Amino acid sequence: MTLFQNGLFGCLKKLTIIILIVAIAIPLRYGSTSPSYLAVRLIHSMFSLKNSLIPDKTRPTLSADYRAFEDLIRMKPLTKIDTSADPLVIIKELRLTMGQTNISPKPAECQIRKEIFKYNAQTTDGYWVSNQLKSSSKNSDKILIYIHGGGFMTGDINTYSGFECYLSRIFNINVLHVEYRLVPEHPYPAAVDDTIALYHALLDQNISSSRMMIMGDSAGGGLTLQTMQVLITRELPVPHGVILLSPWADISSSGESYTRNRPIDPILFDHNSTWVAAQILGPKQIHLSHKDPLISPLYGSFKGFPPMYVNVGTAEITEDDSREIVKRAKQANVDVTLEVAVHLMHVYPIFYLYYPEARNTIDNINEWMKTKFD
């Protein structure tokens, strides 16, 4: 074998070893073997490196990792809605897009168990999510009911299990995912009926409301408020606390932030509130005012609410919904905590894997929950 061949063979051998090391190290680093998820993480890492070298002088408080995630979002924005097309076709495309996202995969050790909850003639699917620390019994008997976002049109256990597993681990709590019915197949009040039926069923199982908190993001935050208002109207025992991430509580989208923040919102910049509201209401209830408290809980009563934690970013169109919720809750003498994240996007805590700002907020909520449960 010639000297050249020996050198070439040595280089190939070293290259093979490097490839094997990388092939093992990257999945270990990110806790997944999904090629699409690993690709997202690697692109995010490259953007993070770039942003660490190029500071954002107008937003100096943001981490390079957060700005990298913004770059990722802008690479592949949400599907633009063609209001002239069949709504069901558009929404099914949105669901497919959401279902194919590989943003937050479920950890292998996280356990998920389906349960069908029955109350009177109604059934609601729920999923128990357990990823608790076995070494600690603190909060292990508590339940966090999670109501997902997605504009009432998208979202399910598959798209939210990764985040809910993280919450179960950080809060050391049993998470109960509510798989409520979606629009347009099931217009208002189907989603509210589902959450109420599930809550009734828990009470019928002799689970004390003092062991429960309800958490929701975006449209799920609005649905959380609707659920609370129905529980109070029916004089049912309320859960121990309410946590809202960027709640969408006004389907009329009348807050000034819907205009002010649209240019800087990387997620909801193309939000068409009129079209979405029509899907929520369906043809039989299209006559309802978009400010009717039944469908826009911002305009409903907050009297009798348990302690609340509200989180919102200043780079999202729904910012004013949160600020107005807090204002009205305080007027009703509710114990409410508001966390405003400067320059951060809609439901930013959900993307906890990618930047410290999300993890810091989840830690803040965890500390708040401890004080309320103690």
pLDDT score recorded for residue 19: 42
How far is residue 309's CA from residue 337's CA, in Å, rounded to a whole number? 5
Name 80's Cβ contacts closer than 8 Å, sequence gap at least 6: 270
pLDDT score recorded for residue 308: 98
pLDDT at position 255 over 90: yes
**Model pLDDT for residues 58-81, shown as the tens digit of each residue:** 999 999 999 999 999 988 766 677
Residue 125: both structure tokens together: 């699917």
Distance between start and end Cα atoms, the chain: 75
Dihedral sign computed on CA atoms, order 230, 233, 221, 107? negative
The mean per-residue pLDDT over the stretch 276-298 comes to 88
Give the whole-number percent of the chain exceeding pLDDT 70. 88
Lowest mean pLDDT among 133-142, 174-183, 229-238: 133-142
pLDDT at position 137 over 60: no
Dihedral sign computed on CA atoms, order 342, 344, 345, 348? negative
CATH number assigned to the domain with residue range 106-373, chosen from the 4 options 1.10.1200.10, 3.40.50.1820, 3.40.50.1370, 3.40.50.2300: 3.40.50.1820
Task: Give the H/E segment covering residue 172.
Answer: none
The mean per-residue pLDDT over the stretch 26-51 comes to 80
Domain with CATH 3.40.50.1820 in the chain: 106-373
**Model pLDDT for residues 148-164, shown as the tens digit of each residue:** 999 999 999 999 999 99
Provide the b/e sequence for 343-357 (b: ≥16 CB within 10 Å). bbbbbbbbbbbbbeb
Output the CA–CA distances (angstroms, integers) from residue 26 to 19, 30, 72, 343, in the order listed: 11, 6, 19, 31
How far is residue 141's CA from residue 213's CA, in Å, rounded to a whole number? 12
pLDDT score recorded for residue 7: 60
**Model pLDDT for residues 261-273, shown as the tens digit of each residue:** 999 999 988 888 8
Q: How many CA atoms lie within 13 A of 324 on its CB side?
A: 20
pLDDT at position 103 over 80: yes
What is the amino acid identity at position 148? H
pLDDT score recorded for residue 207: 96
How far is residue 215's CA from residue 238's CA, in Å, rounded to a whole number? 13
Q: Are 358 and 350 in contact (CB under 8 A)?
A: yes
Quickly state the pLDDT bin for 289 (edges 50, 70, 90).
Answer: confident
Give the whole-number percent of the chain exceeding pLDDT 90. 70
76/211: higher pLDDT: 211
The mean per-residue pLDDT over the stretch 166-177 comes to 96
